[in-house]
Amino acid sequence: MNAEAELNAREATEHLAAIRRIMESATQLTVLPGKAAIGGGVLALIACAVTRRILGSWDFSQMNTLDAAMRMKLIALWSVTAALGIAVDVAMTFLAARKRGVSPWSRLSQLAVYAMAPGVAAGTVLTLTLGQAGHWGLVPAVWMMLYGGAVWTASVFSVRAPGLLGAVFFAAGVVTAFWVSSVSLLMVAVTFGLAHIVFGIYLIARFGD
């Protein structure tokens, strides 16, 4: 193969890769569910309201003042909230994909799940270990930063908007860890609750969900 043909083949390969990427991104857009983000946000707000009522404070470190049984109830509440959030996301994604006639489990969906899995797994493990050590005050910041990082990474395979959401979560986690840990539960409500709802409304307004 001469130099010109080799260059042409390389260029053609790049063009084909770009075409595949764009076609996949265009399809992925259809399975990005704005309603799921709103549903997850509402669930988080409910969990925050219940937690605030039990703790009597916006400070998550007040978990340390609860007896073991009540603490387990709150852990169960947040576990159920997370599970419901994922279930809503999966259900809405499936419905949105079916409505558009595309596969809900596309290659890009798989990549996004793989990108998010380490952050979510690390968040679960750190929640348990920090909680056992009595560092409940750090848990919300860890959730925000790991979730933000996970969403940021997953956004590489999607449109740009989730990347901004990830950045907001990460920044909120840093702010919470360093400056406003006394209202860490409120920060959870602002990020996992309000930010998700605003993001979902944005997606629906922008893409019609």
Partner 1 sequence: MTHVPSPQRLDKIIHERSRLGIVAGLAARGEMSFNELKETLGMTDGNLSVHARVLEEAKYVRIAKGFVGRKPRTTLSLTAKGRKLFADYVDCLERIVAPGKRKGMMNSE
Using CB under 8 A, list all residues that contact partner 1.
5, 8-9, 11-13, 15-16, 18-20, 22-27, 29-30, 159-161, 206-208
Q: Computed from CA positions of residues 109, 111, 115, 120, in that sequence, does the dihedral angle turn out positive or negative?
A: positive
CA distance 17 to 166: 26
CB of 127 to partner 1, least distance (A): 34
Query: Which structure tokens are listed for 36?
Result: 């799921």
Which lies closer to partner 1 via its Cβ, residue 141 or residue 165? 165
Which lies closer to partner 1 via its Cβ, residue 94 or residue 207? 207
Contacts of 200 (CB under 8 A, 6+ apart): 34, 35, 36, 37, 38, 39, 40, 41, 209
- Of 161, 159, 156, 154, nearest in space to 196 by CA: 161
CA distance 141 to 19: 39
CB of 207 to partner 1, least distance (A): 6
CB of 152 to partner 1, least distance (A): 16
CB of 83 to partner 1, least distance (A): 30
Give the SS3 label for residue 90: helix
In order of 21, 64, 89, 90, 92, the CA distances from 104 in angstroms are 17, 42, 11, 9, 10
Which lies closer to partner 1 via its Cβ, residue 8 or residue 79? 8
Which lies closer to partner 1 via its Cβ, residue 136 or residue 157? 157
Around 88, how many Cα atoms within 13 Å sit in the side-chain half-sphere?
19
- Tell me how far apart the 2 most distant CA atoms of the chain are, in Å: 77
Which lies closer to partner 1 via its Cβ, residue 29 or residue 54? 29
Which lies closer to partner 1 via its Cβ, residue 161 or residue 201? 161
CB of 206 to partner 1, least distance (A): 6
CB of 10 to partner 1, least distance (A): 9
